[in-house]
C-alpha cells in the first residue's frame, strides 16, 4: 500500500500553496490578458469589416460619379456637335444668300451695261443714218454712187470711233 509520510503531506501542501499562488498571481492575469487579446482581435475584425463595407461604398460612389461624369461629358460633346452643325448650316445659308445676291447684282449690272451699249449703238446708228442721208441728199446721185457713199461713210465713221475693224 501507499505509505503516507510527512514528506508526501508536505509536498501536497506545497503543491496546493503553489497552485493557489499561481492562480492568484499568474492564472488570472494570463486569462485576463487572453480575454483582452480576444476582445482586441474581435474589435479589429469588426473594424476591418466596417472598413471593407466603407471601402465598397466609396468605390461604388466613385464609380457612380465617374459614370455620371461620362454621361455629362457625352451630353456636352453632343451639344457641341449640334451647335457646330447649326452654326455650319447658318453659315452655309448666309453664304448661299450672299452668293445669290452677288449673282443677281452681277446679272443686273450686265443687263444695264448691255442696255447702255445697245442704246449707244442705236444712237450711233441714228447719227450715221442721218449723216448718210445728208450726204445722199447733198449729192443726189445714182444708186451705185449712193451705196458707195454710205459704205465709205460707215467705214470712215467706224475707223474714227473703233479703229480698223477689217
Please say whether the beta carbons of 136 and 149 come within 8 A.
yes
Residue whose C-alpha is closest to residue 40's, from 32, 52, 29:
32
How far apart CA 2 and CA 10 sit, in angstroms, is: 16
H-type helices in the chain, by residue range? 6-22, 28-138, 143-162
Scan for cell 445722199, then name that residue. 136
Q: Which three cell numbers stand for residue 86?
A: 447649326
Q: Estimate to the nearest angstrom the gap between the alpha carbon of 154 and the chain centroid.
A: 71
How far apart CA 39 and CA 47 sit, in angstroms, is: 12
Tens place of pLDDT per residue across the chain (166 aa): 566 788 888 999 999 999 888 888 888 888 888 999 999 999 999 999 999 999 999 999 999 999 999 999 999 999 999 999 999 999 999 999 999 999 999 999 999 998 898 778 877 776 777 677 766 666 555 667 767 776 777 777 666 665 554 4
* Contact partners, residue 139, CB within 8 Å, separation at least 6: 145, 149
For helices 143-162 and 28-138, give the axis angle rounded to 10 degrees. Answer: 140
Please say whether the beta carbons of 128 and 149 come within 8 A.
no
Amino acid at each position: 500500500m501507499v505509505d503516507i509520510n510527512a514528506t508526501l503531506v508536505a509536498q501536497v501542501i506545497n503543491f496546493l500553496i503553489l497552485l493557489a499562488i499561481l492562480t492568484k498571481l499568474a492564472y488570472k492575469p494570463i486569462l485576463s490578458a487572453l480575454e483582452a487579446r480576444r476582445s482586441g482581435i474581435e474589435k479589429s475584425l469588426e473594424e476591418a469589416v466596417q472598413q471593407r463595407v466603407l471601402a465598397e461604398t466609396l468605390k461604388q460612389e466613385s464609380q457612380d460619379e465617374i459614370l455620371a461624369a461620362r454621361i455629362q461629358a457625352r451630353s456636352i460633346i453632343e451639344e457641341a456637335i449640334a451647335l457646330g452643325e447649326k452654326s455650319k448650316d447658318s453659315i452655309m445659308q448666309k453664304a448661299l444668300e450672299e452668293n445669290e445676291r452677288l449673282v443677281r447684282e452681277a446679272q443686273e449690272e450686265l443687263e444695264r451695261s448691255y442696255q447702255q451699249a445697245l442704246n449707244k449703238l442705236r444712237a450711233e446708228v441714228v447719227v450715221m443714218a442721218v449723216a448718210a442721208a445728208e450726204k445722199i441728199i447733198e449729192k443726189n446721185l445714182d444708186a451705185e454712187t449712193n451705196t458707195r457713199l454710205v459704205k465709205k461713210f460707215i467705214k470712215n465713221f467706224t475707223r474714227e470711233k473703233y479703229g480698223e475693224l477689217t
